[in-house]
């Protein structure tokens, strides 16, 4: 007799879904969950300890590490290129989406040092990013998954691509965001699920203050923004400020990885324009609106889809086999 999930429904079905996801994604590439089982058996314990220490020191770091993985994979594929140092015309760190924004590089350095002590010259920086992203989600109360591994590190960053609007931005239209996800093989559901990563973390005033008085200089706030938030946000982001103050992306659930981000979108409390348009824009009515509503009502569905999507994202053009290298220092090639 076919066994049903109904007896523990949500959790049982979620576990089965994750198992199926792992088989499906692994079959599309050369990455595997047990890649370091023999060569670095304590890898996960070492990385988890370092991520735990970093988040204990600064809770915001969970969102920062997750974002680094995202920004790495969208440029050049998941090859650790975002970690490479360089100058203002070569390093991805100086590209507009990352400059004074991407953070957590020193935590990756600490993880890499600890991993090198455990098993020198074995684990790539790109794989460390993927594991650190998973641990950041788990330690914030979100779902877990078996990370697909076996990536190698790229030899060079791609400043041009990172600076050429391939990364979704806070001022993009919904059509632009959909197109950018599609360009790396991620569909509409992936886009909404991965946007849910904004359930943790903070954003600088510079990327949302336009919503407090719109581009037409009318003095009118963005009509899709809950008006009750405006006085507080204007205090946080004064018009004569430098734009570096921060506000939580997921109001009232800042550090917990849950589906509250989507609940906020339903009442106009998405902080970024690029978040709120998933529900409130005209373009959303026939595309993302329904997905947002589903996730707001069903955290298990959000978790399952998020795992599916981040595994797909982690499989964007990885370097494997004899391609690339295993960096000893994540900031420089060997």
Q: List, by residue number, the catalytic residues.
A: 71
CA distances from 19 to 15, 64, 255, 292 (A): 6, 27, 27, 24
Burial of 11 (0-12, 13-18, 19+ CB in 10 A): exposed
Q: Which residues pair with 248 in a beta bridge?
A: 202
C-alpha span between 162 and 151 (Å, rounded): 20
Dihedral of the alpha carbons of 178, 182, 188, 194, in degrees to the nearest 10: -90
Place of tokens 């009318």: 218
Place of tokens 């078996």: 146
E strand or H helix that includes residue 247: strand 246-248
C-alpha span between 79 and 89 (Å, rounded): 19
C-alpha span between 6 and 168 (Å, rounded): 39
E strand or H helix that includes residue 115: helix 105-118
| 246-248 and 202-204 beta bridge pairing | antiparallel
Q: Which DSSP string corresponds to 191-213?
A: HHHHHGGGGS-EEEGGGTGGGTS
Compute the chain's Rg from CA coordinates.
20
C-alpha span between 326 and 124 (Å, rounded): 5
């Amino acid at each position: 007799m076919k066994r049903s999930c109904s007896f523990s429904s949500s959790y049982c079905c979620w576990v089965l879904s994750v198992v199926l996801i792992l088989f499906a994604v692994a079959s599309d590439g050369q990455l595997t969950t047990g890649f370091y089982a023999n060569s670095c058996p304590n890898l996960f314990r070492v990385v988890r300890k370092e991520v735990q220490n970093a988040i204990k020191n600064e809770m915001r770091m969970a969102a920062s590490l997750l974002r680094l993985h995202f920004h790495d994979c969208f440029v050049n594929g998941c090859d650790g290129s975002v970690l490479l140092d360089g100058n203002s015309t070569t390093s991805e760190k100086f590209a507009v989406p990352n400059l004074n924004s991407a953070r957590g590089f020193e935590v990756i350095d600490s993880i890499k040092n600890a991993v090198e002590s455990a098993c020198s010259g074995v684990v790539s920086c790109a794989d460390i990013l993927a594991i650190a992203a998973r641990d950041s989600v788990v330690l914030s109360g979100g779902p877990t998954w078996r990370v697909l591994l076996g990536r190698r590190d790229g030899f060079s960053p791609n400043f041009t691509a990172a600076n050429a609007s391939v990364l979704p931005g806070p001022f993009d239209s919904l059509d632009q965001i959909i197109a950018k996800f599609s360009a790396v093989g991620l569909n509409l559901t992936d886009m909404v699920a991965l946007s849910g990563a904004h359930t943790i973390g903070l954003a600088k005033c510079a990327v949302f203050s336009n919503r407090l008085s719109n581009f037409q200089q009318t003095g009118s706030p963005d009509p899709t923004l809950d008006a009750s938030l405006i006085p507080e946000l204007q205090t946080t982001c004064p018009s004569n400020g430098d734009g570096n103050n921060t506000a939580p992306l997921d109001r009232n659930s800042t550090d917990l990885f849950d589906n509250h981000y989507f609940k906020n979108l339903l009442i106009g409390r998405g902080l970024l324009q690029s978040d709120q348009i998933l529900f409130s824009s005209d373009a959303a009515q026939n595309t993302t609106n329904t997905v947002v509503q589903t996730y707001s009502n069903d955290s298990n569905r959000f978790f399952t889809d998020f795992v599916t999507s981040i595994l797909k994202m982690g499989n964007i053009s990885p370097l494997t086999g004899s391609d690339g290298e295993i960096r000893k220092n994540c900031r420089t090639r060997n």
